[in-house]
Amino acid sequence: MVVEPVGIFLDPCPVEALVKSRLEINVKMNGLMQDGSMVSINDCSKISFNVRIQDETVFKYIEVKAADTMEENCAKIILDAKKVGKSLIQVFYGELKSQEMKIFSFPQLTSLKKNLLLTKSSSYLFSLSDGPFLNSDKHSYVSEFRVNRHHVINVEHLEHNSLASKYTYKITCLDTNDFENEIEFTIWNKVTSQNKCPMKFNYKLVVSCLRPKILELSQLFVKNDGSDQEVYSGIKWRCPIKLNSKFAVANLNRDLNIQLLVKDSNGKEFDNFSGLNSVWKFDSNFISKQKEMKYLNLKPIDQNTLAKETNFGYHTLFYQSFVPNKRAGETKIELKLFTDENDYLENFLNIRFVNDVRVEPSQLVLFNHPSNIQQLKLFDGSGYFQAEVESKEKSLLEINKIWDSGIQVSPLTNNGLCFINVFDYCMPPQSFDLARDEFSWELTARSIVKVAGIYSILVNLEDDKVQEGQQIKIFVKIDDASGNFIQSKYFKLMNLEAKIDSDLSLSKIDSLNQFVETDDCRVYSITGLKSGLIKISFEIRSNDDVIKSMPVNIEIYEPIKVEPKMVEIILGTDYQIRYTGGPVSSHDITIEYQTFDTEVINVNEIGLVNGLALGSAKVNIKFTISKKLLFQDSVEFRIVEAKFVKIRSPLTSVKSGNKFPLHILINNLNPFYFATSKNIQYKWSVNDAALAEILRNDGFSVHVRTKEPGLLKISVSVFYMDKEFLDSVEVKILAPAIFSNFGQQVPPDNIILVTAKTMLQLRTNYDSLSSEIKYSLQFGMKESECSGSKVQLSIDGQLKIFDPRTECFVGIQATIHYESKIQILNYLIVIKEISYRMFRVDDQEFSVTYHDNLGDEFFVVNTISSLKVNLNNLVEFIQINQNVFGAGPSISFLPDSKINSFRMKMLNDGYVVVELSANHANDFIGLQTSYLNSKIYELYIGDLICKFASIAQNSIIKLAKSPCCNIGVAFESGRIVLENSKEYLVHDFADVYFKTENTDYQIIKINPSLSVLENHLTSSTSTSITSTFRVNIICFHIRNGKCNTFLSNSTDLTQSDSFFGSLS
């Protein structure tokens, strides 16, 4: 019979399943008959239901199956319980839908404990976890247990933690026996309308109640502050001291925890033995007190790890805590554990109390260099350590090795901050890492290490000045980029070098670190050797990088010397105290002068001493820089009267035209001792102004320049305190040595240009004097040098030039010894060919100059020139040398000599052209023949005519010889033609005037004066004046109001004075 479904209902039995199993949900359906009555459908498994599950991660729909024949259900919906949890299920068919029903997936009831081992009167909180959990807060569960021996074991159901799915029971051994006691636990949810048939979960526990046979003591690493604490059970102990040994190392600053392990005869550990009595024995010198016995309940994390749990039911650690007396050393702790009134177990543990390990230095700046291996020192601790590098950056530092007293580390490649964490293997750890299969000790000690590269070099000076022979210190520090100083012991790795940018002989630098204790500074010493300024810097070279410090300047100064130490000064004069040495670059140096003898001398702030009275005095001197005493000394003074003066001259003879100084000594004291005094006056004079002049007159010192050869007398008068002191010196003025062949003319650049085939007898202006003259050739030029066969020079000065055919050069030297003085003449002889000639006209006398290809004039020539005129009827040549201007033969001559000149005589009036020619080189001159008329020169008695070779004997012009030349003097009136073809007319004069010191111009008769002059001029040597008188001016005659001066400037004429030597 087929009916139409009108309702769907899900049966709430069952609604629970074990995870990883299947849950079968029973479905019921009602149908409507044609008469309107309701019936139950027997089979609905062929209907396509729409099954909706709220959380398909908990349950998964599998299929619909037919219901059992004996049941009222029409189908079963098969679900797969994939994980623990709950969900909702609802079934739809067309417009029909069932109610929502809760379904559950439960885990199996579990516990870590399969067996319990307890002593008499000891309890254990046993926990079951998982299993069923409640549908809601309104529901509850049912717990039942069954014990096979109630007289031995007592069980109490304590509580259920529905959120954690825990069921806790207190199990107590009432007595001991030799059998295994069994407890079976059954737990299920109570029946409700939503859960009509809950599942039941069973668990069996075996409990042994025995007497312990073994007692073990070991150190337990746990905090006693009640905080959550993980404890490691399967210890991988790295400490060489075994945990089960009779010895342990403990920290004297923390509680000592000793774990008690109580075991049966098979070595199985008791889960609780707190019902037994224990007696401890210890030394009160090391342990101050004993605390109550404590325990830790642990839950499993993995197969090796247990975590602290507040409830019993898992693994329990029992331990005794002791408070150390904070005293280092070894002691013994003993325990007796009574198993009954008369029987006990006993054991002991030797403890060594130590401080926590510490590392030094606690902070370190480590220079980044691969060979920079450093050691950190370890103190205290157990002696068994581990060290690790902690840093954010990689490749900062590595630990090379560690031992009981130190750690060796070295930098890697990068710079940065890191920590060296030190762990004590044998000391209690402060924390545990559950992710690792070993202890993760909390670090016991730490050193902060900065691996640093070089950033800059800093240089400081003890002083920026150092005296010769003394030292100052230089302090060098090196910092990193953070401004931290790098330890000086690393400086050797840095190749730190000092660079001195100055004369290395001024100073010496040494390192003092082996003598001076410094941590982050290298100390150098600078020793001053010579005075000067040095610039010093420091640099470090690393690969291609160079790091330099800022340079610093150091002045090395000479030692301060105050000299002289004994000074004699003239009364009323000043003296400046002098010193040498000391710093020259310092502007803050202070010099203090002080005397207590203020009645004898006065000294001012600059050290100027003034003599106030005759006697002795002392001046103390202090040198300070920035209030620091640098040097001190004193000077003794003696104040005396002036007694004599003396002129000091550096020489007794000097060349004319040169300068020399003179100064005055008073009491043999130089001007330093009196020159500044206003109480002294000076007056200087020379005997003849024609001989010398005073260029500079400072009173105590003069500069003199000589003019003409002669005997110079210099006098001085010194006026001091109504006294006059006189002194004088004589200086002989010598003429400068010259080659007189060329007159007063000095060849330019001392080069004598000559032609080939010439000969010259060299003459100097010292030939006629008692002198010794030596001549020599100076060979030395490699290129264009004349050979010795082409140029010859005799020792007496005869120079011969042969034909070298090419231009060449050679040096000549004349060494003149005269009155113990030596003068040397050096000239260069240049032998060349004449390139051209030129006329030279001097009044009516004509001569020729000879020139090379550069236009330079020759001084010695051997050549013939040709003279021509365009009109022979106008002029004729007179006084002409045929060896120079004619057919020859040619001779060697000086262009300034008479043979190189000629004159022309006018024949007729007109304009004539004269040609000078030789070797196709010509020069021309044109002139009116009237120019050649004879000219008459007018003279007066007393006039001079210079530079004559000779004068024929006559009464009008008379000749006097001089070192320089021949001088003619007009002596009588009349007319005369001399050998140079010049005609002179001499006029008479009226009077001769002498102006003396005490009179105006005085007329003196002519004959006596001329008699004196005549005697002088006619003699070969100078004649002295017969009388002595002071002459200011001598005038031979007055012409147009002008005085022809014979003598000028005030001078004394005595028998020793040469009258002719004063001619101007």
Q: Which residue has the higher pLDDT, 988 or 86?
A: 86
> Phi then psi for 1018, rounded to 5 degrees?
-85, -5
What mean pLDDT is predicted for residues 560-576?
A: 90
Q: Do 343 and 218 fall within a single domain?
A: yes
Range with the lowest mean pLDDT among 247-261, 448-462, 704-718, 1040-1054?
Answer: 1040-1054
Distance linking the first and last C-alpha atoms of the chain: 183
Query: How large is the C-alpha radius of gyration of the chain?
Result: 69
Dist. CA 354–CA 330, nearest whole Å = 9
Strands 911-918 and 1042-1047: unpaired
Structural domain of 966: 936-987
DSSP string of 20-35, one letter each residue: TSEEEEEEEEEEE-TT
Q: What percent of the chain has pLDDT over 70?
A: 83
* pLDDT category of residue 912 using cuts at 50, 70 and 90: very high
Query: Is the domain of 999 the same as that of 977?
Result: no
**b or e along 384-404 (b: 16 or more beta carbons within 10 Å of the residue's beta carbon)?**
bbbbeeebeeeebbeeeebee
Residues 6+ apart with CB under 8 A from 910: 871, 874, 928, 929
Query: Pick the residue with more confidence: 528 or 488?
Result: 528
pLDDT digits (tens, 9 = 90+) for 804-843: 778 888 888 999 998 888 999 888 889 999 999 999 988 7
φ, ψ for residue 38 (rounded to 5)? -100, 140
pLDDT of residue 178: 83
Q: What confidence category does residue 453 fall into, taking pLDDT thresholds of 50, 70 and 90?
A: confident
Angle (CA) 387-393-397 rounded to 5° is 40
Distances (CA, A) of 106 to 54, 63, 463, 948: 17, 21, 90, 160
b/e 112-138 (16+ beta carbons within 10 angstroms → b): ebeebbbbbbbbbbbbbbbbbbbbeee
What tokens does 197 get?
A: 């048939």
User: Looking up tokens 């105590």, which residue turns up?
Assistant: 700
User: Is residue 1010 helix, strand or coil?
Assistant: helix
Residues 865 and 948 in one domain: no
Q: Is 519 left (phi over 0), alpha (psi -120 to 50) or beta?
A: alpha
The pLDDT score that the predictor gives to residue 540 is 87
220 within 8 A of 427, measured Cβ to Cβ? no
Span of 330-339, 538-547, 889-898 with lowest mean pLDDT = 538-547
Please indicate, yes or no, whether residues 15 and 33 belong to a single structural domain of this protein: yes
Under DSSP, is residue 943 helix (H, G, I), strand (E, B) or coil? coil
b/e map of 70-89 (b: 16 or more CB within 10 Å)? eeebbbbbebebeebbbbeb
**Is pLDDT above 80 for 1052?**
no
| Band of residue 458 on the pLDDT scale cut at 50, 70, 90 | very high
Tell me the CATH number at 59.
2.60.40.10
700-713 mean pLDDT:
94
Q: Which residue has the higher pLDDT, 783 or 1054?
A: 783
Average pLDDT score, the chain: 82
CB-CB contact of 515 with 506 (8 Å):
no
Same domain, 744 and 728: no
The answer on 137 and 193 residing in a single domain is yes
Q: Which of 547-556, 829-838, 983-992 has the weakest average pLDDT?
A: 983-992
- Choosing from 831, 848, 880, the residue where a domain stops is 831
Instruction: Identify the domain boundary among 790, 815, 831.
Output: 831
Give the residues across from 399 on adjacent strands.
409
Domain match, 779 and 892 both: no
> Which segments within 50-152 are labelled E, that is strand?
50-53, 59-66, 75-81, 85-93, 96-97, 101-106, 115-118, 123-129, 141-147
Last residue in a domain, options 831, 848, 869: 831
Q: What is the mean pLDDT of residues 590-609?
A: 93
The span from the CA of 716 to the CA of 940, in Å, is 41
What CA–CA distance (Å, rounded) separates 784 from 808? 5
Contact 706, 691 (CB under 8 A): yes
Helix, strand, or coil (residue 615): strand
Split at pLDDT 50, 70, 90, the class of 128 is confident
Q: Which amino acid is at 817?
A: H
Give the model's confidence band at 1005: pLDDT under 50 very low, under 70 low, under 90 confident, else very high. very low
Residues 681 and 661 occupy one common structural domain: yes
d(CA 28, CA 10): 6
The C-alpha atoms of residue 465 and residue 470 are separated, in whole angstroms, by 10
Per-residue pLDDT tens digits for 277-320: 999 999 999 999 888 887 776 655 454 445 555 544 456 788 89
Structure tokens at 85: 């949890």
Task: Provide the pLDDT for residue 748.
Answer: 72
Assess whether 381 and 339 both reside in one domain: no
Residue 1062 in this model has a pLDDT that exceeds 70 = no
Looking at the fold, whether 155 and 177 belong to one and the same domain comes out as yes
| DSSP annotation string for 144-160 | EEEES-TTTEEEEEEEE
**DSSP at 550:** P
**In whole angstroms, what is the distance from residue 956 CA to residue 978 CA?**
11
| Rounded alpha-carbon distances, angstroms, from residue 585 to 237, 552, 553, 581, 633 | 73, 14, 10, 12, 22
What CATH number does the domain containing 799 carry? 2.60.40.1080
Q: Which residue has the higher pLDDT, 543 or 129?
A: 129
Asked if 218 contacts 248 with a C-beta cutoff of 8 angstroms, the reply is yes
Q: Could you give the number of structural domains in the chain? A: 11
Residue appearing with tokens 């024995």: 281
Q: Please give the Cα distance from 716 to 724 (Å, whole number).
A: 10
Q: What are phi and psi of 354, to 5 degrees?
A: -140, 165
**Cβ atoms 195, 188 nearer than 8 A:** no
Stretch 22-48: mean pLDDT, rounded?
A: 88
Residues 6+ apart with CB under 8 A from 405: 377, 378, 379
Q: CATH no. for residue 247?
A: 2.60.40
Q: 481 and 425, same structural domain? A: no
When pLDDT is cut at 50, 70 and 90, the band that residue 737 belongs to is confident
The predicted pLDDT at position 730 comes to 95
Statement: residue 162 has pLDDT above 70:
no
Residues of the chain with pLDDT > 90, as a percent, come to 40
Alpha-carbon span 737 to 771, nearest angstrom: 11
Write the DSSP string, 314-382.
Answer: SEEEEEEEEEE-S--EEEEEEEEEESSSS-EEEEEEEEEEEPPPEEE-SEEEEE--TT--EEEEEESS-
User: Which of 123-137, 272-286, 474-488 reaches the highest mean pLDDT?
Assistant: 272-286
677 near 662, Cβ under 8 Å?
Answer: no
Cα 616 from chain centroid?
A: 53
Are 432 and 474 part of one and the same domain? no
The Cα diameter of the chain in Å comes to 208
Question: In what order do the strands lie in the sheet containing 615-625?
Answer: 566-570, 628-640, 615-625, 589-595
